[in-house]
Structure 1
C-alpha cells in the first residue's frame, strides 16, 4: 500500500501551446461529399479542430478530472520493466462493498467510468449493493506508462490489473469490461479464477459451436439454415457483418502496422481526431456528441503519458502474440453476466454466447452502443446492481 499515492493531472502549459500550434498548422485535404461514405467528413473535422483550438478549455476539463479520486502505483509485471499505473478508486463506506475492476478498451479510457460513478454512489445510498470502483488506465493508455518491450499481450494486461487489485487489498473482486476490456476480464478469469466473484461484459462475442460439440453444432446448423434467430440476434448479426465489411479497416492496420499509423497519430492532433471521431460516431447509438465531449476525449489521447500512438500497439501485441487473442475465448470457471446493447459492433447469437462460461445474468437493452458506460451509464450500473444484488446469482464476498 505504501507505493499507492494520489495522482494529479497537470499538463504543462507549453504542451497545450504546442497542441494549439499544431492544430493551426493543419493542412486539410480537399472537400468532397460531406457524408460518411468516405469516412470522417472533412467539414466535421474542420469544425471540431476550430473548436478544439479556440473554445475548448483543457484546464477546465483537467480540473474536473482532478476532483475525482485519482491515484497511481508501480506494478511489476513478469518479464517487463515496472509500470506506473494510473487509476480511479472510488471507495464505498459499506463494509460489504464489492470491489469492481472496470476495464476499458480502444479508443476508450479510464474516463468512461466517470459517468457511472454517481450511479454507483447512488446504489450505496439506496441500500446497495455497494461497490469499490477501480478504473485503471491500461498500460499504454491515459496516464499509465508506456511498455517499451514487445510481447505485452492479453496475459500481461490481465496480470497488471490483477496485481493492482491485490495492491489495493482486494483479494476477491469482480470485473467489468467492454472492447479489449471484455477480453482482458476473461483472461483474468482464466488465469486467476479463485480471485474473481464474476465477470460482466458489455461486448459479447463468441464463436459458433464447433463439430466437436455435436448437439450444439447441429443446433447451430439448423438455426442458421432456417434463420431461427430472435430480432435482437438478427440485428446483431447484421451489425457484425456490416462492421466486418465496412468498418474493420482500422483493426487490420493497427494489428499489422501499428508503427505506420502511429507516426501519423503521434504527430498530428487533427489526424488523431479524425481517426478516433470516426469510431465515436459510428460505434454509438445516435449519441448526441457535443464538441466539448469530443475534444476532451481526444485530448486525453493527445496528452497521454505514453503518447497518442502507444494505445494502438495492443492490437499487434495481443493478436500477433502467443497469448489468448480471440474475443470468443471462454471463461469456464467463473460466473459471467452479459449486457446487450443494440448498436454494439459485435453481438453474436445468445446460445453461442452462453457457451463462454457459467452465465448467470443477461439483459437486452433497447438503446446503446459500443461505449455503454458513456452512452447508457445508468443502465449499465443497474445491470451490475441486479447481477450482484440480493436476488442475483453471484456469491458474496
Structure 2
C-alpha cells in the first residue's frame, strides 16, 4: 500500500515540474523579447542610396545639372479651373449648429470657392510665388524642385558666417508654408553673427517635384534624396528645420548623416513610432506631476482626452496609408473636394476649438490668398494623390521608417512646442532618441502649421537654435566659452588617442572608413579565434575601407598583463594586421574617453559596461558607432553586418 502511494505521488510531481519549467522558459523568453524590443535600439536599416525612382529603363547618364525653373499658372489651366468651380454640384447643407465638427462646413466652402473663382488673382499670385529663385535637378531619376535663397550681401567674415538651412514642409503643406517665414530668416541682425542660405525643396511627389514611378519611396528614401540635394549644392555641413513629414525626413537625415547635419530644429518634436515613448506617456498619465511640468500637463493629460482627439483627427491617415489612390481620384478631379479636404486640416489642426465655428476660424490666422496658394500648388501639379502615397510607404508597407524613431542620434536637436500640435512628448521622452536634445520652447498658442501661422515666433526660435548649433560646431562664433554640454563629442573623429608605441593619433585620419573598435587581450581563451578571424576580415575588406582598431585592456581576468613592449612582441609573433593602440581601461573611473563615448552611443544588453575581452563596436563611414557585439560573437560573424556599411 505504501509503495503504491509513493508511486502515485511521484507520478503527479512530473506534470507540476513540467509546468514549472515551461513557465520559467516562457517568462524568460517574453522578458528577453520585451527587453530586446524596447531597450535595445534596432540596427541601422540598410538603404540603397542609389535606388532609381524614375521611369524604367534607367538612364545610363542622367542630366544632373541644376536648371532654373518658373512656376506657371497657364491660361488653359485657369480657365479649366474656373469652369469646374462654376459648374460644381451643390453640396448638401450642413446640420444646424455643427460648425466644422462633421468636417468642412459646406456653407463656408461656398464662400471659399467663390473667392477662388472670382477674386483670387491668379497672375498676381503666380508672381508672388516666383519672388524667390526656383530650380530643378535630377536625383535618382526624379526631377527635384527647390528654392535657393542667398543673402543679398556677402556676409562671410571673421565674425559673421553663412549657415545653409534646409526647410522641409509637411502634408498637406508645401513650399508655401515658408513664404512669410523666409524674409524674417533672411533679415540679418548685428547680434546674429550669421546669415542663412536657404534651400526649400518640394519633397518628392509633392508640388513641383516629380513622384516615384515605382513603390517604396518613403521618408527614409526622401532623406537620402534631400541629403544628395544639399551635396549637389556643395553644402558639406548644414542645418535642418522641419515639421510633420518634414520632421520625419529631417530626423532620419540627422540619424543617417550626423557628420553633415550641424543641427536639427523641429516644430513637431515627437517619437510617433517609438514603443518605449508610448509606454512612458501612458504610465505618466497615472502620475502627471512626476513626468511633465505643470504648465505642460494639459497638453497631454487627461490621457483619454488626448487619445480621443488623436483618434478624431487621424482618420485621414488610415485612408492614405491604405487606399491613397482611391481618394486621390476624387480630389484630383474636383477643386471643391481638394479645397475642403486640405483646408479642414488648416482649421482643426491649428486649434481643435475651431471646429465649433461655422467658418472653422480659418481666417483668424491665415489669409484666403495664402490658403489658396497652397491649394494651387496641389491643383496645378496634380500631386495630391502622389503626396498621399507617402503614408502608405511609411505605415502600411515597410517598417524601415518606423525603426528610425528608435535609433539614437547625437546631432544637436532643438524643439518648439506649440499649444495645439497634434502630438506632444516631454523632453525626457524625446531624449530616448535625441541624445543631445538641447531645448524646448513652449508656446501657449498655435498649432500644426507653425511657419505659416506664427512666422515671427518661428524665426526667432530657429535663429536661437542655430546660434547654439554653431557653438557646437564652431565655438569661436560665441564670445563666451562653450559649456561642457556644448562640447560633447558626436563621432569618433573628435578623439585623439595614443598608439601602441606612444604616438598621438587623431582618429580623424580614419574619416571615410568603416571601423571595428575592440578591446583585446593576449592571454584570453578567446584570443586565438578572434585574432585569426580579425586578420581574415582585414585581408578581405581592407581595400573596401575596413579598419580594425585594437585597444589592449587588462581589466578582465588580468589577461593582458604585459606592457607595450610585450604586446608589440606578441603582435609581431602572430603577424597581426590590426591597428594597435595604448593599453586602456574600458570600465570604471579611469575609462578612456573614447570608450565612454562608445558605450554611451551603443549601450549593452544588460548595462553599458563592457562585459569581457573582445567586445566589438562597428563605426560607420561618418564616424558614428552603429552596432555593438559581445565577446561571444566571433569576428567572421560580423560580415553580414559590415556589408551594410562597406
| Shift in Å, 1:241 | 2.4
1:254 aligns with 2:317: no
Distance in 1 separating the partners of 2:446 and 2:266: 14
Distance 1:207 1:247, change over 3 A: closer
| Shift in Å, 1:371 | 0.8
| Shift in Å, 1:392 | 6.7
1:307-346 aligned at under 5 Å gives the runs 307-322=383-398, 323-325=400-402, 328-346=405-423
* Contact 1:175–1:198 (CA under 8 A) maintained in structure 2: yes
| Shift in Å, 1:222 | 6.5
| Shift in Å, 1:221 | 7.3
Q: Deviations over 1:118-144 (max 9, x none)?
A: 111213565433111111001111111
SS at match of 2:210: coil
Residues 89-98 or 245-254, more deviating:
89-98
Distance in 1 separating the partners of 2:196 and 2:408: 23
Structure 2 match to 1:73: 137
Distance 1:207 1:85, change over 3 A: closer
Alignment partner of 1:378 out of 456, 463, 478: 456
* Contact 1:198–1:394 (CA under 8 A) maintained in structure 2: no
Q: How many residues align?
A: 387
Distance in 2 separating the partners of 1:236 and 1:249: 21
Structure 2 match to 1:79: none
Structure 1 match to 2:373: 296
Distance in 2 separating the partners of 1:107 and 1:366: 23
1:236 aligns with 2:313: no
Structure 2 match to 1:110: 175
* Contact 2:406–2:432 (CA under 8 A) maintained in structure 1: no
| Shift in Å, 1:395 | 1.9
SS at match of 1:347: coil
Distance in 1 separating the partners of 2:317 and 2:209: 23
Distance 1:208 1:263, change over 3 A: closer
Alignment partner of 1:226 out of 284, 287, 311: 287
Distance in 2 separating the partners of 1:122 and 1:195: 25
Structure 1 match to 2:149: 90
Higher Rg of the two aligned structures:
2
| Shift in Å, 1:333 | 2.4
Distance in 1 separating the partners of 2:394 and 2:271: 17
| Shift in Å, 1:50 | 1.0
1:27 aligns with 2:93: no
Distance 1:329 1:277, change over 3 A: farther
SS at match of 1:162: helix
Distance in 2 separating the partners of 1:275 and 1:326: 30
Using structure 2 for the length normalisation, give the TM-score.
0.57
| Shift in Å, 1:329 | 4.2
Using structure 1 for the length normalisation, give the TM-score.
0.90
| Shift in Å, 1:240 | 4.2
* Contact 1:137–1:144 (CA under 8 A) maintained in structure 2: yes
Distance in 2 separating the partners of 1:98 and 1:207: 29
Distance in 2 separating the partners of 1:256 and 1:50: 33
1:1-397 aligned at under 5 Å gives the runs 3-33=65-95, 35-76=99-140, 82-92=141-151, 93-95=154-156, 96-123=161-188, 127-206=192-271, 223-228=284-289, 229-237=292-300, 240-285=306-351, 287-304=364-381, 307-322=383-398, 323-325=400-402, 328-357=405-434, 358-389=436-467, 393-396=471-474
| Shift in Å, 1:5 | 2.1
Unaligned runs of 5+ in 1: 77-81
* Contact 1:204–1:353 (CA under 8 A) maintained in structure 2: yes
Distance 1:203 1:210, change over 3 A: closer
Distance 1:221 1:154, change over 3 A: closer
| Shift in Å, 1:307 | 2.9
Distance 1:56 1:37, change over 3 A: same
Distance 1:254 1:209, change over 3 A: closer
Distance in 1 separating the partners of 2:319 and 2:468: 46
Q: CA RMSD in A?
A: 2.5
Residues 348-357 or 167-176, more deviating:
348-357
SS at match of 2:411: strand
* Contact 2:137–2:145 (CA under 8 A) maintained in structure 1: yes
Distance in 1 separating the partners of 2:472 and 2:459: 16
* Contact 1:338–1:362 (CA under 8 A) maintained in structure 2: yes
Distance in 2 separating the partners of 1:208 and 1:10: 39
Residues 12-21 or 352-361, more deviating:
352-361
| Shift in Å, 1:244 | 1.7
| Shift in Å, 1:336 | 0.7
Residues 179-188 or 220-229, more deviating:
220-229
Distance in 1 separating the partners of 2:371 and 2:273: 36
| Shift in Å, 1:354 | 2.5
Distance 1:182 1:391, change over 3 A: closer
| Shift in Å, 1:169 | 0.5
